[in-house]
């Protein structure tokens, strides 16, 4: 019969795997709840409607029309090798309606001499239009996704490092059989310099299985009262997985009392 163990216990186990648990949660949360939403918001806010046109579909299925150039202006906010793409505003007639649209291109050879009033070939399809025979340019908003993607990947890696051993202990909390172990060593890890992050006590122990064989294991705890209450050779309660006698962990007395584990 499994014990009822709160997911908060799993969260505590993950965050206890410092610094990977905390960094994993931080990087993942920042990427998912801040960087990705901000990037998508910026893309949706600053991306013009004509930048979403499917150029190939319009050329393939559309109707050729004659368009009149209204304005040709360099996009000074974008520069590649010292050159700026051109934004061309044009008008055309479709079903007796005069429509205005825009088109961005880095094909400067074909657009450098365009002036207002010039006639140019265009193709229209379902209310959208593009200039024919000119390669379109779209601002690479996808580049903004690089940073949140890096944060997410790093966060996932750090979380995996912390989560996998935490899940093993979590399963022991739920299914483990209580056994009496014997402490063989108590070693304090001072943690990271100055901050003390990761400070814990390493506990080595063994227990004797039903055949009389000693099974050795180890665990960590942040309950430093163990240093005053226990010494090498003292008994300590541990969890042992019923179907894997090598899988063991320390029994967390505080959590057992808090959650009423039988």
Element (H or E) spanning 262, and its range?
none
pTM over 0.75, yes/no: no
> What confidence score (pLDDT) does residue 195 get?
67
List per-block mean pLDDT (blocks of 10 residues) for the chain, which spans 262 residues: 87 88 93 92 83 94 96 86 90 93 92 93 95 89 88 95 94 95 93 73 95 95 91 96 95 88 72
* Of residues 117, 120, 113, the one with CA closest to residue 134: 120
Q: Any bridge partners for residue 201, and if so which?
A: 188, 221
Q: Which sign does the torsion angle of CA 32, 35, 36, 38 carry? A: positive
């Amino acid at each position: 019969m499994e014990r009822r163990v709160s997911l908060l216990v799993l969260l505590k186990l993950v965050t206890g795997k410092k610094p990977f648990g905390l960094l994993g949660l931080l990087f993942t949360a920042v990427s998912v709840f801040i960087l990705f939403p901000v990037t998508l918001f910026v893309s949706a806010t600053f991306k013009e409607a004509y930048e979403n046109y499917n150029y190939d579909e319009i050329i393939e299925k559309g109707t050729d029309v004659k368009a009149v150039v209204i304005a040709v202006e360099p996009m000074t906010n974008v520069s590649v090798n010292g050159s700026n793409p051109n934004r061309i505003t044009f008008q055309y007639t479709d079903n007796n309606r005069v429509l205005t649209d825009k088109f961005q291109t880095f094909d400067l050879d074909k657009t450098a001499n365009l002036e207002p009033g010039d006639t140019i070939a265009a193709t229209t399809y379902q209310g959208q239009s593009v200039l024919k025979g000119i390669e379109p340019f779209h601002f690479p908003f996808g580049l903004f996704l690089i940073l949140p993607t890096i944060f997410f990947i790093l966060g996932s890696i750090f979380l995996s490092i912390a989560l996998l051993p935490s899940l093993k202990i979590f399963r022991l909390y739920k299914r483990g059989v209580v056994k009496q172990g014997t402490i063989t060593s108590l070693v304090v890890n001072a943690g990271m310099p100055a901050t003390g992050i990761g400070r814990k006590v390493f506990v080595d122990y063994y227990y004797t299985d039903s055949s009389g064989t000693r099974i050795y294991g180890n665990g960590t705890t942040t309950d430093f009262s163990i240093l005053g209450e226990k010494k090498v050779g003292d008994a300590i309660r541990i969890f042992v997985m019923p179907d894997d006698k090598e899988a063991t962990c320390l029994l967390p007395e505080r959590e057992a009392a808090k959650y009423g584990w039988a």
